[in-house]
Amino acid sequence: MRAGSALRAITNSASPSPLVWLALFVALSIGVTLADSQRLLDVPRDLVMRLLAPVQSGVNRVGNTLRGVTSGWNEVGQLREENAALRRTVEELLQETVNLRAAELENRELRDQLRYARANPSRTLVPAEVIGLDSSALLGYAVINRGAEAGLQAGMTVQTTGGLIGRVVSNTATTSRILLANHPSSAVNARIQNNPGATGQVLGQPDGRLVMRYIPQAELVKVNDVVVTSGLGGAFPANVPIGRVAHVEVRDVELFQRAVIEPFVNFDKLRQVIVDTGFVPPRL
């Protein structure tokens, strides 16, 4: 009866009160939310996104170009420092490459001896471009220009050549939504690369940093230790690099220690990413 009266008030009155208008639009919004939760809007939304994705991509490119032009002026000094740092990194990496080659040979011999089937290294990787971040900055999503048509599914891992970015949480035919690893609602099971016992959970922070929590007190964690995914829980494949330990917080009164992680990926400058379509987390 009340709904009927409200409807009559809207249709009969030439200028209904603002509260009636408010009730009408609140009801419309809730109706849209309910229709979305019943997945009734998936098809039209998919169609609209199909049309909008190129526009969004174009606008994003214009922004990136503009940013490149303006930031170039300010970056000369920074580039000098970066250049020196990169030279040092190259030297370190050369040494690391030599060590890794030796380790790889040893690894091969051990695998042969134990007659383990070599784990299939053929990962199916799909390159994609970040075409937008969520419009409100509250959800922590990025949108990429590949979707179900390229074989992407919810749960797949997204990374760059540098390290982990996050995972696909939903997709349309041509776009996918990525939950970034540095968002507060993201949690990734991780471990210290050189200390398999030092496991924990890497959680995003509201300021965009990463923090590794629940590391057992007994485990030694040092600054500059590399943090990788542990593969525990099955949500992410193991050994995807996440970042380096920047700071360790140990308090005697607490059960666990915690570490601030400096991610390998700059989440503010995401452009090209890779989606591992060969890894789909098992549904528990």
Partner 1 sequence: MKTPWWIAPCLLFVAALLQAAFFPALGLVRARPELVVTAVAIWAVLRGVREALPWAFIGGLLLDLFSQGPFGTAALALVIVAFCSSVGEASVFRTNFLLPTVIVFWASVLYGVIYLFLLRTHQMPVDWIGTLRHSVVPSALLSTACAPIVYWLLSRVERKTRSIVPVEW
Q: Confirm or reject binding of residue 83 to partner 1 (CB under 8 A).
A: no
The alpha carbon of residue 54 and the mean position of all alpha carbons in its chain are separated, in whole angstroms, by 22
Q: Name residues contacting partner 1, limited to 265-284 (CB under 8 A).
A: 267-269
Q: Name residues contacting partner 1, limited to 29-48 (CB under 8 A).
A: 29-37, 41, 45, 48
Q: Name residues contacting partner 1, limited to 2-21 (CB under 8 A).
A: 15, 18, 21
Q: Confirm or reject binding of residue 215 to partner 1 (CB under 8 A).
A: no
x-or-dash string of contact with partner 1, 224-263, rule CB under 8 A: ----------------------------------------
Identify which of residues 147 and 225 has a Cβ nearer to partner 1 in the complex. Answer: 147
- In angstroms, what is the minimal distance from the CB of 173 to partner 1? 13
Identify which of residues 48 and 250 has a Cβ nearer to partner 1 in the complex. Answer: 48
- In angstroms, what is the minimal distance from the CB of 231 to partner 1? 23
- Three-state helix/strand/coil letters over the chain: CHHHHHHHHHHHCCCCCHHHHHHHHHHHHHHHHHHHHCCCCHHHHHHHHHHHHHHHHHHHHHHHHHHHHHHHHHCHHHHHHHHHHHHHHHHHHHHHHHHHHHHHHHHHHHHHHHCCCCCCCCCCEEEEEEEEECCCCCCCEEEECCCHHHCCCCCCEEECCCCEEEEEEEECCCCEEEEECCCCCCEEEEEECCEEEEEEEEEECCCCCEEEEEEECCCCCCCCCEEEECCHHHCCCCCCEEEEEEEEECCCCCCEEEEEEEECCCHHHCCEEEEECCCCCCCC
Q: Name residues contacting partner 1, limited to 145-204 (CB under 8 A).
A: 170, 175, 177, 184-185
Cα separation, 118 vs 18, in Å, equals: 70
Q: Confirm or reject binding of residue 64 to partner 1 (CB under 8 A).
A: yes
Strand partners, 256: 216
- In angstroms, what is the minimal distance from the CB of 67 to partner 1? 5
Identify which of residues 130 and 164 has a Cβ nearer to partner 1 in the complex. Answer: 130
How many amino acids of this chain bind partner 1 (CB under 8 A)?
Answer: 56
Stretch that binds partner 1, among 100-108, 206-214, 233-241, 276-284 (CB under 8 A): 206-214
- Summarize as ranges the residues that interact with partner 1 (CB under 8 A): 15, 18, 21-22, 24-26, 28-37, 41, 45, 48-49, 52, 55-57, 59-64, 66-67, 131-139, 141, 143, 170, 175, 177, 184-185, 205-208, 267-269
